[in-house]
Amino acid sequence: MFDDRSPIYRQIADRIKADVLSGALEADQQVMSTNQYAAFYRINPATAAKAFQQLVDEDVLYKRRGIGMFVSPTARDALRAQGRETFFGQVVDPMVAEARSIGIPLSDVIKRIEQLEDGR
């Protein structure tokens, strides 16, 4: 269920972030508890708690004492802004490098992007 690439808690945190970005988790919506996450992913609850703590530190979630964890109202906008900052470096540049190494002209890549844009 998890890859070896990064710590499990970071992978859980990334999934919650992806849910916030896609709108599956909305502002002020309660997220599942640490124990529910631990049982679902079959992981130690301390690991799940670490993921939640990271998200609280990053202002993606906030804690309501005795009730649980909720999505910060500012989380989605903040994550979108972060995503825009890293998009070209993390997504576009590797794609261009891959296209070059397998010999696809960049003009073909641009054509494809334009087709996708027109298809909308």
Partner 1 sequence: MKVDVQGLVVRYGDVTAIDDLSFSLAENKIYGLLGRNGSGKSTLMSVLAAFRKPTAGTVLVDGEPVFENGRATSRICLVQHGVDPADKGDRLKDALALAGVFRESWDAECAERLMDLFGLPRTKKLGQLSLGQRSAFGVVVGLASRAPLTMFDESHLGMDTPTRYAFYDALLADYMAEPRTIVLSTHLVEEQAALLEEVVIIDSGRLVLHEETEAVRSRGTSVTGPTGLVDRFVEGLTVLNQRQLGPTKSAVVYGSLDRDASGTEGLELGPIPLQDLFVHLTEPAGVTR
Using an 8 Å Cβ cutoff, are 54 and 61 in contact? Answer: no
Report, in Å, the least distance between residue 49 CB and partner 1.
10
Closer residue to partner 1, CB minimum distance, 45 or 109: 45
Write each residue from 51 to 90 as x if it is in contact with partner 1 (CB under 8 A), else as -, in one continuous string.
----------------------------------------
Closer residue to partner 1, CB minimum distance, 5 or 64: 5
Write each residue from 22 to 41 as x if it is in contact with partner 1 (CB under 8 A), else as -, in one continuous string.
-------------x--xx-x
Look at residues 90, 89, 100 and name the one whose alpha carbon lies nearest to residue 109.
100
Report, in Å, the least distance between residue 45 CB and partner 1.
6
Among 21, 47, 58, 62, binds partner 1 (CB under 8 A): 47
Residues 6+ apart with CB under 8 A from 59: 72, 74, 75, 78
- If binding is defined by CB under 8 A, does position 44 make contact with partner 1? yes
